[in-house]
Structure 1
Amino acid sequence: MEEVKAYIESGVLELYVLGEVSHAERLEVEAMALKHPAIKAELEEIERSMELFAEEHEIEPSPELRNRILNSMVTNLADDRTFRSKHTETEDAPVVPMRTSESSSFYKYAFAACLALLLVSSIALYNVYNQLQDSKGQILALNAQKTQYAKTVNLQSDELEIYRGNYKMIKLPGTGKTPKAWMMLAWSPVKKHVMIDMANLNLPANDAAHQYQLWAIVDGKPVDLGVFDAKPDSATVMKIMKSVDKPQAFAVTLEPKGGSVNPTMANMTVIATI
Protein backbone atom coordinates (compact mmCIF):
# COMPACT_ATOMS: atom_id res chain seq x y z
CA MET A 1 0.00 0.00 0.00
CA GLU A 2 2.88 2.33 0.68
CA GLU A 3 4.10 1.78 -2.88
CA VAL A 4 0.66 2.63 -4.28
CA LYS A 5 0.37 5.72 -2.09
CA ALA A 6 3.83 6.94 -3.13
CA TYR A 7 3.00 6.35 -6.79
CA ILE A 8 -0.23 8.34 -6.51
CA GLU A 9 1.51 11.21 -4.72
CA SER A 10 4.33 11.35 -7.30
CA GLY A 11 2.21 13.43 -9.69
CA VAL A 12 2.64 11.08 -12.65
CA LEU A 13 -1.11 10.41 -12.78
CA GLU A 14 -1.87 14.10 -13.37
CA LEU A 15 0.80 14.25 -16.07
CA TYR A 16 -0.69 11.13 -17.65
CA VAL A 17 -4.12 12.73 -17.88
CA LEU A 18 -2.52 15.83 -19.44
CA GLY A 19 -0.57 13.73 -21.93
CA GLU A 20 2.77 14.97 -20.60
CA VAL A 21 4.37 11.54 -20.16
CA SER A 22 6.57 9.50 -22.46
CA HIS A 23 5.39 6.35 -24.20
CA ALA A 24 7.14 4.17 -21.61
CA GLU A 25 5.64 6.15 -18.74
CA ARG A 26 2.17 5.90 -20.28
CA LEU A 27 2.48 2.11 -20.51
CA GLU A 28 3.67 2.02 -16.92
CA VAL A 29 0.69 4.06 -15.68
CA GLU A 30 -1.80 1.86 -17.51
CA ALA A 31 -0.12 -1.28 -16.18
CA MET A 32 -0.21 0.07 -12.65
CA ALA A 33 -3.89 0.98 -13.05
CA LEU A 34 -4.70 -2.59 -14.17
CA LYS A 35 -2.78 -3.99 -11.24
CA HIS A 36 -3.99 -1.61 -8.52
CA PRO A 37 -7.67 -0.56 -8.30
CA ALA A 38 -6.69 2.40 -6.09
CA ILE A 39 -4.57 3.87 -8.88
CA LYS A 40 -7.36 3.36 -11.41
CA ALA A 41 -9.82 5.07 -9.06
CA GLU A 42 -7.42 7.97 -8.55
CA LEU A 43 -7.11 8.44 -12.32
CA GLU A 44 -10.87 8.59 -12.66
CA GLU A 45 -11.11 11.07 -9.79
CA ILE A 46 -8.47 13.32 -11.37
CA GLU A 47 -10.34 13.30 -14.65
CA ARG A 48 -13.66 14.14 -12.96
CA SER A 49 -12.12 16.94 -10.90
CA MET A 50 -10.62 18.58 -13.95
CA GLU A 51 -13.89 18.33 -15.86
CA LEU A 52 -15.85 19.89 -12.98
CA PHE A 53 -13.35 22.74 -12.73
CA ALA A 54 -13.55 23.39 -16.46
CA GLU A 55 -17.35 23.33 -16.48
CA GLU A 56 -17.58 25.61 -13.46
CA HIS A 57 -15.29 28.22 -15.01
CA GLU A 58 -16.52 27.70 -18.59
CA ILE A 59 -13.01 27.42 -19.94
CA GLU A 60 -12.75 26.49 -23.62
CA PRO A 61 -9.31 25.20 -24.69
CA SER A 62 -7.93 25.75 -28.17
CA PRO A 63 -8.56 22.96 -30.75
CA GLU A 64 -4.87 22.02 -30.69
CA LEU A 65 -4.88 21.70 -26.90
CA ARG A 66 -8.19 19.81 -26.95
CA ASN A 67 -6.81 17.22 -29.42
CA ARG A 68 -3.68 16.87 -27.35
CA ILE A 69 -5.70 16.11 -24.22
CA LEU A 70 -8.11 13.77 -26.00
CA ASN A 71 -5.27 11.73 -27.48
CA SER A 72 -3.68 11.36 -24.05
CA MET A 73 -6.78 10.33 -22.08
CA VAL A 74 -7.35 6.85 -20.76
CA THR A 75 -9.27 4.65 -23.23
CA ASN A 76 -12.63 3.16 -22.28
CA LEU A 77 -13.22 -0.35 -23.62
CA ALA A 78 -16.02 -1.42 -21.26
CA ASP A 79 -18.72 -0.11 -18.97
CA ASP A 80 -16.53 -0.64 -15.91
CA ARG A 81 -13.84 1.60 -17.52
CA THR A 82 -11.08 -1.02 -17.48
CA PHE A 83 -7.81 -0.32 -19.23
CA ARG A 84 -6.38 -2.21 -22.16
CA SER A 85 -4.21 -5.06 -21.04
CA LYS A 86 -2.00 -5.01 -24.09
CA HIS A 87 -0.43 -2.18 -26.05
CA THR A 88 1.48 -1.96 -29.26
CA GLU A 89 5.07 -0.81 -29.03
CA THR A 90 4.67 2.01 -31.55
CA GLU A 91 3.82 5.59 -30.69
CA ASP A 92 1.28 5.71 -33.55
CA ALA A 93 -1.03 3.04 -32.09
CA PRO A 94 -4.68 4.13 -32.43
CA VAL A 95 -6.34 5.48 -29.31
CA VAL A 96 -10.07 5.53 -28.72
CA PRO A 97 -10.76 9.04 -27.40
CA MET A 98 -12.78 9.53 -24.20
CA ARG A 99 -14.90 12.52 -23.27
CA THR A 100 -13.43 15.99 -23.59
CA SER A 101 -11.49 17.29 -20.58
CA GLU A 102 -10.56 20.81 -19.65
CA SER A 103 -7.84 19.61 -17.30
CA SER A 104 -4.89 21.43 -18.81
CA SER A 105 -6.56 24.77 -18.24
CA PHE A 106 -6.88 23.91 -14.55
CA TYR A 107 -3.14 23.39 -14.31
CA LYS A 108 -2.45 26.57 -16.24
CA TYR A 109 -4.52 28.62 -13.82
CA ALA A 110 -3.08 26.78 -10.83
CA PHE A 111 0.44 27.47 -12.08
CA ALA A 112 -0.38 31.13 -12.68
CA ALA A 113 -1.82 31.39 -9.17
CA CYS A 114 1.37 29.88 -7.73
CA LEU A 115 3.49 32.37 -9.65
CA ALA A 116 1.34 35.25 -8.41
CA LEU A 117 1.64 34.02 -4.83
CA LEU A 118 5.41 33.67 -5.21
CA LEU A 119 5.66 37.21 -6.58
CA VAL A 120 3.60 38.67 -3.74
CA SER A 121 5.65 36.73 -1.18
CA SER A 122 8.92 37.94 -2.72
CA ILE A 123 7.77 41.56 -2.61
CA ALA A 124 6.66 41.16 1.00
CA LEU A 125 9.99 39.60 1.99
CA TYR A 126 11.88 42.37 0.21
CA ASN A 127 9.90 45.02 2.09
CA VAL A 128 10.50 43.23 5.40
CA TYR A 129 14.23 43.02 4.61
CA ASN A 130 14.39 46.77 3.90
CA GLN A 131 12.54 47.51 7.12
CA LEU A 132 14.97 45.33 9.06
CA GLN A 133 17.93 47.13 7.49
CA ASP A 134 16.43 50.51 8.37
CA SER A 135 15.83 49.33 11.93
CA LYS A 136 19.40 48.05 12.15
CA GLY A 137 20.72 51.42 11.01
CA GLN A 138 18.57 53.22 13.57
CA ILE A 139 19.80 50.90 16.32
CA LEU A 140 23.44 51.53 15.36
CA ALA A 141 22.83 55.28 15.35
CA LEU A 142 21.17 55.11 18.77
CA ASN A 143 24.06 53.04 20.14
CA ALA A 144 26.54 55.60 18.83
CA GLN A 145 24.55 58.40 20.46
CA LYS A 146 24.38 56.41 23.68
CA THR A 147 28.15 55.88 23.66
CA GLN A 148 28.82 59.56 23.02
CA TYR A 149 26.36 60.53 25.74
CA ALA A 150 28.06 58.19 28.21
CA LYS A 151 31.44 59.74 27.39
CA THR A 152 30.03 63.21 27.91
CA VAL A 153 28.54 62.21 31.25
CA ASN A 154 31.86 60.69 32.33
CA LEU A 155 33.75 63.83 31.35
CA GLN A 156 31.34 66.04 33.23
CA SER A 157 31.59 63.73 36.22
CA ASP A 158 35.39 64.00 36.15
CA GLU A 159 35.20 67.78 35.93
CA LEU A 160 32.73 67.96 38.81
CA GLU A 161 35.01 65.74 40.87
CA ILE A 162 37.86 68.20 40.31
CA TYR A 163 35.83 71.25 41.27
CA ARG A 164 34.52 69.63 44.47
CA GLY A 165 37.84 70.51 46.06
CA ASN A 166 39.37 67.04 46.22
CA TYR A 167 41.90 67.88 43.49
CA LYS A 168 44.76 70.32 43.22
CA MET A 169 45.31 71.88 39.78
CA ILE A 170 49.04 71.92 39.02
CA LYS A 171 50.64 73.73 36.08
CA LEU A 172 53.81 72.18 34.67
CA PRO A 173 55.90 74.82 32.82
CA GLY A 174 58.41 74.04 30.08
CA THR A 175 62.09 73.32 30.62
CA GLY A 176 65.02 75.18 29.10
CA LYS A 177 64.81 72.85 26.10
CA THR A 178 61.10 73.59 25.54
CA PRO A 179 60.40 76.94 27.23
CA LYS A 180 57.02 77.46 25.55
CA ALA A 181 55.64 74.09 26.58
CA TRP A 182 53.21 73.74 29.47
CA MET A 183 50.37 71.54 30.67
CA MET A 184 47.84 71.23 33.47
CA LEU A 185 47.15 68.20 35.62
CA ALA A 186 44.87 67.49 38.57
CA TRP A 187 46.02 65.51 41.60
CA SER A 188 43.95 64.41 44.60
CA PRO A 189 45.98 64.09 47.84
CA VAL A 190 43.02 62.21 49.33
CA LYS A 191 42.22 59.75 46.55
CA LYS A 192 45.76 59.81 45.10
CA HIS A 193 44.27 60.09 41.58
CA VAL A 194 46.07 61.92 38.76
CA MET A 195 44.40 63.33 35.64
CA ILE A 196 45.84 65.30 32.72
CA ASP A 197 43.73 68.20 31.43
CA MET A 198 43.92 67.43 27.70
CA ALA A 199 42.12 70.69 26.89
CA ASN A 200 44.93 72.67 28.54
CA LEU A 201 47.94 71.10 26.91
CA ASN A 202 50.70 72.87 24.99
CA LEU A 203 53.40 70.34 24.13
CA PRO A 204 55.27 69.82 20.85
CA ALA A 205 53.48 67.22 18.76
CA ASN A 206 54.94 63.74 19.10
CA ASP A 207 55.36 61.41 16.11
CA ALA A 208 53.94 57.89 15.77
CA ALA A 209 57.13 56.34 17.16
CA HIS A 210 57.13 58.34 20.40
CA GLN A 211 54.81 59.21 23.29
CA TYR A 212 54.96 61.51 26.26
CA GLN A 213 55.37 59.81 29.64
CA LEU A 214 54.24 61.31 32.95
CA TRP A 215 56.43 60.78 35.99
CA ALA A 216 56.02 61.49 39.68
CA ILE A 217 59.05 62.05 41.87
CA VAL A 218 58.51 60.13 45.12
CA ASP A 219 61.30 60.03 47.71
CA GLY A 220 63.69 61.26 45.03
CA LYS A 221 62.86 58.43 42.60
CA PRO A 222 60.83 58.61 39.36
CA VAL A 223 57.54 56.67 39.32
CA ASP A 224 55.85 55.89 36.01
CA LEU A 225 52.29 57.28 35.75
CA GLY A 226 51.55 56.28 32.14
CA VAL A 227 51.91 57.59 28.58
CA PHE A 228 49.82 59.96 26.44
CA ASP A 229 49.88 61.79 23.11
CA ALA A 230 50.11 65.56 22.77
CA LYS A 231 46.90 66.11 20.81
CA PRO A 232 43.41 67.28 21.76
CA ASP A 233 40.93 64.46 22.35
CA SER A 234 37.28 65.52 22.51
CA ALA A 235 36.35 62.12 23.94
CA THR A 236 38.90 62.39 26.80
CA VAL A 237 39.11 65.91 28.18
CA MET A 238 40.49 64.60 31.47
CA LYS A 239 42.84 61.69 30.88
CA ILE A 240 43.14 59.46 33.95
CA MET A 241 46.70 58.37 34.73
CA LYS A 242 48.10 56.02 37.37
CA SER A 243 47.59 56.89 41.02
CA VAL A 244 50.43 58.12 43.22
CA ASP A 245 50.86 58.95 46.91
CA LYS A 246 52.90 61.82 48.29
CA PRO A 247 54.68 63.01 45.14
CA GLN A 248 57.24 65.79 45.49
CA ALA A 249 57.10 66.72 41.78
CA PHE A 250 55.62 65.84 38.39
CA ALA A 251 57.55 65.74 35.11
CA VAL A 252 57.01 64.72 31.49
CA THR A 253 59.59 63.22 29.12
CA LEU A 254 59.40 62.16 25.48
CA GLU A 255 59.94 58.39 25.25
CA PRO A 256 59.65 55.60 22.64
CA LYS A 257 56.05 54.56 22.03
CA GLY A 258 54.73 52.61 25.00
CA GLY A 259 57.01 54.31 27.52
CA SER A 260 60.29 53.52 29.26
CA VAL A 261 61.30 51.99 32.58
CA ASN A 262 63.37 55.04 33.45
CA PRO A 263 62.92 58.62 32.20
CA THR A 264 65.16 60.03 29.48
CA MET A 265 66.33 63.16 31.26
CA ALA A 266 67.59 64.77 28.05
CA ASN A 267 64.03 64.67 26.68
CA MET A 268 62.32 66.26 29.70
CA THR A 269 59.67 68.70 28.43
CA VAL A 270 57.84 70.06 31.51
CA ILE A 271 58.30 69.78 35.28
CA ALA A 272 56.74 71.19 38.45
CA THR A 273 57.29 70.69 42.15
CA ILE A 274 54.44 70.50 44.64
Structure 2
Amino acid sequence: MMDRNTIKDTGILEQYLLGELSEDQRTQVEDLLREDADLRDYLGKIEDDFEKIAFENAITPPAHIKSNVLNHITDTDEEVIIIPRPQKNQLVTYLAIAAGLAMVFMVSGLWLYTQWQDAKETLEVVQNQTNDLRDRIVSLENNLNETSKWYTAINNPNTVKLILKGNQISPTSSAITYVNHSEKTVILNPQGLTKLTDAETYQMWADVDGEMIDMGVIPSDQNMIVMKYIDNAESINITIEPKGGNDHPTVERLISNVLL
Protein backbone atom coordinates (compact mmCIF):
# COMPACT_ATOMS: atom_id res chain seq x y z
CA MET A 1 0.00 0.00 0.00
CA MET A 2 1.41 3.40 -0.99
CA ASP A 3 1.80 6.37 1.35
CA ARG A 4 3.30 9.84 1.02
CA ASN A 5 6.82 8.86 2.15
CA THR A 6 6.92 5.80 -0.12
CA ILE A 7 5.93 7.87 -3.14
CA LYS A 8 8.54 10.56 -2.43
CA ASP A 9 11.43 8.24 -1.59
CA THR A 10 11.03 5.73 -4.43
CA GLY A 11 10.55 8.15 -7.34
CA ILE A 12 7.04 6.91 -8.10
CA LEU A 13 5.82 10.45 -8.86
CA GLU A 14 8.51 10.81 -11.54
CA GLN A 15 7.39 7.48 -13.03
CA TYR A 16 3.79 8.68 -12.86
CA LEU A 17 4.61 11.81 -14.84
CA LEU A 18 6.54 9.76 -17.42
CA GLY A 19 3.65 7.31 -17.79
CA GLU A 20 5.65 4.32 -16.59
CA LEU A 21 3.24 3.04 -13.90
CA SER A 22 0.75 0.25 -14.22
CA GLU A 23 -2.97 1.07 -14.19
CA ASP A 24 -3.31 -0.04 -10.57
CA GLN A 25 -0.32 2.00 -9.41
CA ARG A 26 -1.51 5.07 -11.29
CA THR A 27 -4.94 4.79 -9.63
CA GLN A 28 -3.37 4.57 -6.16
CA VAL A 29 -1.20 7.64 -6.84
CA GLU A 30 -4.17 9.68 -8.06
CA ASP A 31 -6.23 8.69 -4.99
CA LEU A 32 -3.42 9.89 -2.71
CA LEU A 33 -3.05 13.12 -4.69
CA ARG A 34 -6.75 13.93 -4.24
CA GLU A 35 -6.45 13.46 -0.49
CA ASP A 36 -3.06 15.09 0.14
CA ALA A 37 -2.52 18.76 -0.80
CA ASP A 38 1.16 18.67 0.18
CA LEU A 39 1.71 15.74 -2.15
CA ARG A 40 0.01 17.67 -4.96
CA ASP A 41 2.36 20.59 -4.34
CA TYR A 42 5.33 18.24 -4.45
CA LEU A 43 4.07 16.85 -7.78
CA GLY A 44 3.73 20.38 -9.13
CA LYS A 45 7.36 21.13 -8.26
CA ILE A 46 8.49 18.02 -10.13
CA GLU A 47 6.42 19.08 -13.17
CA ASP A 48 7.95 22.56 -13.04
CA ASP A 49 11.46 21.07 -12.87
CA PHE A 50 10.76 18.87 -15.89
CA GLU A 51 9.34 21.82 -17.79
CA LYS A 52 12.38 23.95 -16.92
CA ILE A 53 14.73 21.25 -18.24
CA ALA A 54 12.69 21.02 -21.45
CA PHE A 55 12.86 24.77 -22.09
CA GLU A 56 16.56 24.97 -21.24
CA ASN A 57 17.33 22.32 -23.87
CA ALA A 58 14.84 23.57 -26.46
CA ILE A 59 16.14 24.48 -29.96
CA THR A 60 14.99 27.86 -31.33
CA PRO A 61 13.39 27.46 -34.81
CA PRO A 62 14.62 29.64 -37.70
CA ALA A 63 13.17 33.18 -37.68
CA HIS A 64 11.52 32.85 -41.10
CA ILE A 65 9.17 30.11 -39.87
CA LYS A 66 7.24 32.51 -37.60
CA SER A 67 6.77 35.07 -40.39
CA ASN A 68 5.67 32.37 -42.86
CA VAL A 69 3.07 31.08 -40.42
CA LEU A 70 1.70 34.60 -39.72
CA ASN A 71 1.51 35.41 -43.44
CA HIS A 72 -0.35 32.20 -44.08
CA ILE A 73 -2.88 32.98 -41.33
CA THR A 74 -3.41 36.54 -42.65
CA ASP A 75 -3.81 35.56 -46.32
CA THR A 76 -6.14 32.59 -45.92
CA ASP A 77 -9.92 32.78 -45.64
CA GLU A 78 -10.12 29.36 -44.10
CA GLU A 79 -11.24 28.85 -40.55
CA VAL A 80 -8.36 29.36 -38.14
CA ILE A 81 -7.74 26.27 -36.11
CA ILE A 82 -6.50 27.00 -32.62
CA ILE A 83 -4.12 24.33 -31.37
CA PRO A 84 -4.42 24.01 -27.61
CA ARG A 85 -1.27 24.19 -25.51
CA PRO A 86 -0.16 20.73 -24.52
CA GLN A 87 -0.97 19.79 -20.98
CA LYS A 88 1.85 19.13 -18.59
CA ASN A 89 1.49 15.38 -18.98
CA GLN A 90 1.90 15.76 -22.74
CA LEU A 91 4.94 17.96 -22.17
CA VAL A 92 6.46 15.32 -19.95
CA THR A 93 5.87 12.73 -22.68
CA TYR A 94 7.69 14.91 -25.20
CA LEU A 95 10.46 15.42 -22.70
CA ALA A 96 10.78 11.67 -22.21
CA ILE A 97 11.07 11.19 -25.99
CA ALA A 98 13.73 13.91 -26.20
CA ALA A 99 15.63 12.37 -23.30
CA GLY A 100 15.50 8.98 -25.02
CA LEU A 101 16.87 10.44 -28.25
CA ALA A 102 19.61 12.24 -26.33
CA MET A 103 20.58 8.96 -24.69
CA VAL A 104 20.73 7.26 -28.10
CA PHE A 105 22.97 10.02 -29.46
CA MET A 106 25.20 9.85 -26.38
CA VAL A 107 25.62 6.06 -26.62
CA SER A 108 26.26 6.31 -30.37
CA GLY A 109 28.85 9.02 -29.81
CA LEU A 110 30.56 6.96 -27.12
CA TRP A 111 30.63 3.92 -29.41
CA LEU A 112 32.11 5.95 -32.27
CA TYR A 113 34.74 7.42 -29.95
CA THR A 114 35.69 3.93 -28.73
CA GLN A 115 35.94 2.68 -32.31
CA TRP A 116 38.11 5.66 -33.23
CA GLN A 117 40.43 5.01 -30.28
CA ASP A 118 40.73 1.33 -31.25
CA ALA A 119 41.45 2.27 -34.86
CA LYS A 120 44.06 4.79 -33.71
CA GLU A 121 45.82 2.18 -31.57
CA THR A 122 45.71 -0.34 -34.43
CA LEU A 123 47.19 2.25 -36.79
CA GLU A 124 50.02 2.93 -34.34
CA VAL A 125 50.78 -0.80 -34.11
CA VAL A 126 50.79 -1.10 -37.92
CA GLN A 127 53.06 1.94 -38.23
CA ASN A 128 55.50 0.49 -35.68
CA GLN A 129 55.50 -2.84 -37.49
CA THR A 130 56.03 -1.06 -40.81
CA ASN A 131 58.98 0.92 -39.39
CA ASP A 132 60.47 -2.27 -37.94
CA LEU A 133 60.06 -4.05 -41.29
CA ARG A 134 61.63 -1.09 -43.10
CA ASP A 135 64.63 -1.21 -40.75
CA ARG A 136 65.01 -4.93 -41.36
CA ILE A 137 64.89 -4.44 -45.12
CA VAL A 138 67.55 -1.72 -44.92
CA SER A 139 69.71 -4.01 -42.76
CA LEU A 140 69.28 -6.90 -45.22
CA GLU A 141 70.14 -4.62 -48.15
CA ASN A 142 73.28 -3.43 -46.37
CA ASN A 143 74.28 -7.01 -45.57
CA LEU A 144 73.64 -8.04 -49.16
CA ASN A 145 75.69 -5.14 -50.50
CA GLU A 146 78.49 -5.95 -48.06
CA THR A 147 78.45 -9.65 -48.99
CA SER A 148 78.40 -8.76 -52.70
CA LYS A 149 81.39 -6.48 -52.21
CA TRP A 150 83.42 -9.18 -50.45
CA TYR A 151 82.40 -11.82 -53.01
CA THR A 152 83.50 -9.61 -55.89
CA ALA A 153 86.82 -8.81 -54.19
CA ILE A 154 87.84 -12.37 -53.27
CA ASN A 155 86.75 -13.77 -56.67
CA ASN A 156 88.78 -11.22 -58.61
CA PRO A 157 91.17 -13.09 -60.97
CA ASN A 158 94.07 -11.06 -59.56
CA THR A 159 93.28 -11.98 -55.94
CA VAL A 160 95.51 -14.56 -54.27
CA LYS A 161 94.07 -16.67 -51.46
CA LEU A 162 96.52 -17.47 -48.63
CA ILE A 163 95.87 -19.62 -45.55
CA LEU A 164 97.61 -18.77 -42.27
CA LYS A 165 97.74 -21.87 -40.03
CA GLY A 166 98.49 -21.71 -36.33
CA ASN A 167 101.80 -22.97 -34.92
CA GLN A 168 102.55 -24.70 -31.60
CA ILE A 169 101.53 -21.54 -29.67
CA SER A 170 98.00 -21.67 -31.10
CA PRO A 171 97.69 -24.97 -33.00
CA THR A 172 93.92 -24.73 -33.56
CA SER A 173 94.04 -21.24 -35.09
CA SER A 174 93.69 -20.49 -38.79
CA ALA A 175 92.88 -17.47 -40.92
CA ILE A 176 92.41 -16.74 -44.61
CA THR A 177 93.77 -13.66 -46.35
CA TYR A 178 93.05 -12.44 -49.87
CA VAL A 179 95.81 -10.32 -51.44
CA ASN A 180 95.41 -8.37 -54.68
CA HIS A 181 98.71 -6.76 -55.71
CA SER A 182 97.10 -5.05 -58.75
CA GLU A 183 94.58 -3.16 -56.65
CA LYS A 184 96.79 -3.17 -53.53
CA THR A 185 94.17 -4.65 -51.22
CA VAL A 186 94.32 -7.17 -48.38
CA ILE A 187 91.16 -8.80 -47.00
CA LEU A 188 91.24 -11.08 -43.94
CA ASN A 189 88.77 -13.68 -42.70
CA PRO A 190 89.77 -14.18 -39.02
CA GLN A 191 86.93 -16.50 -37.93
CA GLY A 192 89.28 -19.45 -37.48
CA LEU A 193 91.47 -17.73 -34.89
CA THR A 194 91.23 -19.06 -31.35
CA LYS A 195 89.35 -16.74 -28.98
CA LEU A 196 91.60 -14.64 -26.74
CA THR A 197 91.10 -13.08 -23.31
CA ASP A 198 89.64 -9.55 -23.04
CA ALA A 199 93.17 -8.22 -22.37
CA GLU A 200 94.59 -9.58 -25.68
CA THR A 201 94.16 -9.07 -29.40
CA TYR A 202 95.54 -10.37 -32.69
CA GLN A 203 97.61 -8.07 -34.89
CA MET A 204 98.82 -8.51 -38.49
CA TRP A 205 102.30 -7.59 -39.76
CA ALA A 206 104.07 -7.43 -43.13
CA ASP A 207 107.73 -8.44 -43.34
CA VAL A 208 109.65 -6.05 -45.63
CA ASP A 209 113.39 -6.73 -45.80
CA GLY A 210 113.38 -8.12 -42.26
CA GLU A 211 111.31 -5.26 -40.80
CA MET A 212 107.82 -5.97 -39.41
CA ILE A 213 105.35 -3.27 -40.51
CA ASP A 214 101.91 -2.98 -38.87
CA MET A 215 98.95 -3.98 -41.06
CA GLY A 216 96.36 -3.40 -38.37
CA VAL A 217 94.70 -4.87 -35.27
CA ILE A 218 92.32 -7.74 -36.03
CA PRO A 219 88.80 -7.24 -34.55
CA SER A 220 87.23 -10.34 -33.06
CA ASP A 221 83.63 -9.54 -34.03
CA GLN A 222 83.89 -9.25 -37.83
CA ASN A 223 83.79 -11.89 -40.54
CA MET A 224 85.73 -9.98 -43.18
CA ILE A 225 88.23 -7.19 -42.55
CA VAL A 226 90.14 -4.86 -44.86
CA MET A 227 93.78 -4.71 -43.67
CA LYS A 228 96.60 -2.35 -44.76
CA TYR A 229 98.39 -3.25 -47.96
CA ILE A 230 102.19 -2.98 -47.63
CA ASP A 231 104.32 -2.74 -50.77
CA ASN A 232 107.16 -5.23 -51.25
CA ALA A 233 106.00 -7.43 -48.36
CA GLU A 234 107.70 -10.83 -48.32
CA SER A 235 105.34 -12.46 -45.81
CA ILE A 236 102.27 -11.85 -43.71
CA ASN A 237 102.39 -12.61 -39.97
CA ILE A 238 99.96 -12.70 -37.06
CA THR A 239 100.94 -12.15 -33.42
CA ILE A 240 99.15 -11.95 -30.07
CA GLU A 241 99.44 -8.47 -28.57
CA PRO A 242 98.03 -6.52 -25.60
CA LYS A 243 94.54 -5.14 -26.10
CA GLY A 244 94.61 -2.13 -28.44
CA GLY A 245 97.64 -3.37 -30.40
CA ASN A 246 101.37 -2.71 -30.29
CA ASP A 247 103.82 -0.51 -32.20
CA HIS A 248 106.18 -3.46 -32.65
CA PRO A 249 105.44 -7.21 -32.84
CA THR A 250 105.87 -9.55 -29.89
CA VAL A 251 107.90 -12.12 -31.81
CA GLU A 252 107.76 -14.78 -29.10
CA ARG A 253 103.95 -14.72 -29.52
CA LEU A 254 103.94 -15.15 -33.30
CA ILE A 255 101.24 -17.72 -34.06
CA SER A 256 101.18 -17.81 -37.88
CA ASN A 257 102.86 -16.57 -41.03
CA VAL A 258 102.71 -17.18 -44.76
CA LEU A 259 105.07 -16.21 -47.60
CA LEU A 260 103.80 -14.02 -50.44
CA distance in 1, matches of 2:209, 2:47: 108
Count of aligned residue pairs for this structure pair: 186
Alignment partner of 2:48 out of 70, 74, 90 = 70
Residue 153 of structure 1 corresponds to 145
Alignment partner of 1:259 out of 236, 245, 248 = 245
CA deviation map 1:223-263 (0-9, x unaligned): 333333557x6xx3x32223433322211112233322322
Pair 108,181 (structure 1): closer, same or farther in 2 beyond 3 Å = same
CA deviation map 1:84-112 (0-9, x unaligned): xxxxxxxxxxxxxx963447543563254
Largest Rg, 1 or 2: 2
Question: Is the 8 Å Cα contact of residues 206 and 236 (structure 2) preserved in structure 1?
Answer: yes
Equivalence map 1:235-274=2 (5 Å): 236=223, 238-274=224-260
SS in 1 for 2:258: strand
Pair 133,66 (structure 1): closer, same or farther in 2 beyond 3 Å = farther
Alignment partner of 2:176 out of 172, 184, 187 = 184
Q: Which runs of 5+ in 1 are unaligned?
A: 1-59, 75-97
Question: Is the 8 Å Cα contact of residues 189 and 246 (structure 1) preserved in structure 2?
Answer: no
AA aligned opposite 1:114: M
Q: Is residue 39 of structure 2 the alignment partner of residue 61 of structure 1?
A: no
CA distance in 2, matches of 1:65, 1:151: 83
Residue 77 of structure 1 corresponds to none
CA distance in 2, matches of 1:69, 1:246: 110
Alignment partner of 1:225 out of 215, 231, 240 = 215
AA aligned opposite 1:151: N
Pair 152,66 (structure 1): closer, same or farther in 2 beyond 3 Å = farther
Residue 162 of structure 1 corresponds to 154
SS in 2 for 1:131: helix
Residue 202 of structure 2 corresponds to 212
Alignment partner of 1:173 out of 157, 165, 177 = 165
SS in 2 for 1:263: coil
Pair 66,190 (structure 1): closer, same or farther in 2 beyond 3 Å = farther
CA distance in 2, matches of 1:196, 1:179: 19
Question: Is the 8 Å Cα contact of residues 172 and 194 (structure 2) preserved in structure 1?
Answer: no
CA deviation map 1:172-197 (0-9, x unaligned): 23234234433210112122221112
Alignment partner of 2:129 out of 133, 137, 154 = 137
SS in 2 for 1:202: coil
Pair 73,266 (structure 1): closer, same or farther in 2 beyond 3 Å = same
Quote how far apart the aligned CAs of 1:73 are. Answer: 5.1
CA distance in 2, matches of 1:254, 1:155: 28
Give the fraction of aligned pairs with identical amino acids, expressed as a percent.
Answer: 18
Length-normalised TM-score, structure 1: 0.56
Higher normalized contact order (CA 8 Å, seq sep 6+, divided by chain length) = 1
CA deviation map 1:2-48 (0-9, x unaligned): xxxxxxxxxxxxxxxxxxxxxxxxxxxxxxxxxxxxxxxxxxxxxxx
Pair 71,256 (structure 1): closer, same or farther in 2 beyond 3 Å = same
Quote how far apart the aligned CAs of 1:270 are. Answer: 0.9
CA distance in 2, matches of 1:66, 1:218: 115
CA distance in 2, matches of 1:227, 1:155: 22
> Structure 1 residues 207-216 or 171-180, which shifts more?
171-180
Quote how far apart the aligned CAs of 1:266 are. Answer: 2.4
Length-normalised TM-score, structure 2: 0.58
